[in-house]
Structure 1
Amino acid sequence: MPQSPINPIRPTNDEARKLARSLIAAATFGALAVNDGISGFPAVTRIATGTAPSGEILTLVSGLAAHTTALLADPRAGLLLGEPKEKGDPLTHSRLALRVMAHQIARDDPRFAALRTHWLESHPKSKLYIDLPDFIFFVLTPQSGALNGGFGRAWQLTASDLMPVAS
């Protein structure tokens, strides 16, 4: 009798939630995958990331970038966070693949000024371009995620698993 394949996905627990939230909080950049409406192919780019005071995931992007145009046309995207350490096999280090919805925070949005101030605290070099008129924020709201915590440690996470913990 054939054996059923072993399910590598562990039941979601507080360890997984804590690890996912720590990857979100620590990330300063990530790989963003968008739906390219022109070619029909997925498009991937590296973006700066951070969190709002509320813990929401933020990115600051230029309106001239192809990924910005794609997000404005279709707010569904993928976001990969987590970088390998200096030593060891990169595939053994924690990473979080998120399905996100992108919500634009335009320059005339009342939240923009506070987000600008907060963003500059953690991304001081963005002072060079943050005030250019085409730059906007997006809040990237997780819908679900796949967390790989290293070899043999994988979880599927829901939107509520990924919500920031109120402090």
Structure 2
Amino acid sequence: MPPSPQTPRRTDPIRATDEDARGIARTLLTEARTAALAVLDPATGAPFVSRVAFGLGPAGEALTLVSDLAVHARALRADPRVSLLLGEPGPKGDPLVHPRLTLAATAAFVAADAPERSALRVAWLGHHPKAALYIDFADFHFVRFEIGRGHLNAGFGKAYALDANDLKLTS
């Protein structure tokens, strides 16, 4: 039955993705130094979230550096499906009006002897200089995230569904 003139129409809250949305998402990607990482706990199958360092490699790929001692490292090895949340609340106002980007991705460990590890190390230390204290420890590994899709909440009433191409930083 069609809605009556007095009944408001339900509208899709997701806006059409445009260049402004892509720009906000790419800014969140390039400026983020930490992320909330959601994994599935291999012992229970339950969701597990932790804060991790976040950065981009020389080709614009999303990365983190993890220790084998971390619960999330074990979880990533058991099931590479992850979700990442980027974006921090601003210093004033309602935290929910500040942009944030949720990413659905697949994690892949970079082998310690991989040829690209040296370039990843240089890029990582450029954004996380204090990591020089532990980056070369044997239990630390780079993890690359292959982003499948994203959801951008750019503030009240500004939600966008993004695909992997919308989030690419380089061609």
Instruction: Give 2:34's aligned residue.
Output: 29
Q: C-alpha deviations, 1:20-55, integer Å up to 9, x for none?
A: 111000000010000112111000000000101111
CA-atom RMSD, angstroms?
1.1
Query: How far is 1:15 from its partner?
Result: 1.0
> Percent identical across equivalent pairs?
50
Query: How far is 1:3 from its partner?
Result: 4.3
CA distance in 2, matches of 1:141, 1:6: 32
Instruction: Give 1:20's aligned residue.
Output: 25
* Structure 1 unpaired stretches of 5+: none
Task: Pick the aligned partner of 2:146 from 141, 144, 148.
Answer: 141
Instruction: Give 2:136's aligned residue.
Output: 131
Secondary structure, aligned partner of 2:38: strand
Q: TM-score, normalised by structure 2?
A: 0.93
Which amino acid letter does the alignment assign opposite residue 153 of structure 2? N
Q: Structure 1: which 4+ aligned runs deviate by more than 2 Å?
A: 1-4
CA distance in 1, matches of 2:139, 2:113: 12
Which amino acid letter does the alignment assign opposite residue 156 of structure 1? A
Task: Pick the aligned partner of 2:75 from 70, 75, 88.
Answer: 70
CA distance in 2, matches of 1:25, 1:70: 26
Maintained 8 Å contact 2:58/2:119? no
* Structure 2 unpaired stretches of 5+: none
Q: TM-score, normalised by structure 1?
A: 0.95
